[in-house]
Structure 1
């Protein structure tokens, strides 16, 4: 990624509900696989999220990055509205839902990444 500061460093797609939660300001951490694409992110970079339902975009600044060996470890630290989930959702439920997106094999290969974000106004 050879982007100049101030421009979009990474583009990612989101389902409508998490996109709306970022837009509303309640979702402050994006949860992703710590694969090659996301491992290049740095604090201060910008991400453009696209809503898969509406094609609307929103830009955020990366405020922090925290890597975990597993999503369960990430969910033990971060859960609820800060990651765009219901407050009462269990770690087991979060992990089970996440398995529909990322396989356990990929999780074991790359780990999990908590990306702390802030909307760029």
Structure 2
């Protein structure tokens, strides 16, 4: 039975991050504060998909926290929770390679996730 107030979101994820999620070692997902994610709540489900494939992984949203930018997010959440295989500086560079400055200027969401 599914609660009518919970949502399932489908989001694309690069293979390297997908593998960390499925291993349970990536517990914080980083996203730009886009309007379509503004109503994401604890208890919702995210279905991560590797773009162009049928490979998916579902996680539960534990918490959503807003930050002004990616630096504040990494400092607030701990870089090891975002990507335990890269340093904070490597992660900041990787995130900024995905999201250009005009996207970062919108703000950032730290989405705490857990495997069901």
Query: Would you call these one fold, judging by a TM-score over 0.5?
Result: yes
Please give the alpha-carbon distance, in whole angstroms, between the structure 2 residues aligned to 1:84 and 1:53. 23
Question: Deviation of residue 105 (structure 1)?
Answer: 1.3
1:83 alignment counterpart: 82
Q: Following superposition of structure 1 onto structure 2, how do residues 43-58 of structure 1 map, counting pairs within 5 Å?
A: 43-52=42-51, 54-58=53-57
Corresponding residue for 1:65?
A: 64
Contact 1:15 1:53 in 2 (8 A): no
Contact kept, 8 Å, 2:25 with 2:84, in 1: the verdict is no
Deviation of the 1:57 alpha carbon: 0.7
Write out per-residue CA displacement over residues 36-88 of structure 1, whole angstroms, 9 at most, x where no aligned residue. 122120111111001237531111110001110000101112202x212425x
Aligned residues: 113
Q: Which runs of 4+ in 1 moved over 6 A?
A: none
Does the 8 Å CA contact 2:20/2:26 hold for their aligned counterparts?
yes
Unaligned runs of 5+ in 1: none
Distance 2:51 2:101 in 1: 24
Q: Counterpart in 1 of 2:113?
A: 117
**Gapped runs of 5+ residues in structure 2?**
none
Give 1:99 shift. 1.6
Matches of 1:21 and 1:93, distance apart in 2: 16
3-state DSSP class of the match of 1:99?
A: helix
Residue number in structure 1 paired with 2:100: 103
TM-score normalised by length of structure 2: 0.86
After TM superposition, the structure 1 stretch with the greater mean CA deviation from structure 2, 50-59 or 67-76, is 50-59
| Cα distance in 2 between the residues matched to 1:84 and 1:37 | 24
TM-score, structure 1 normalization: 0.82
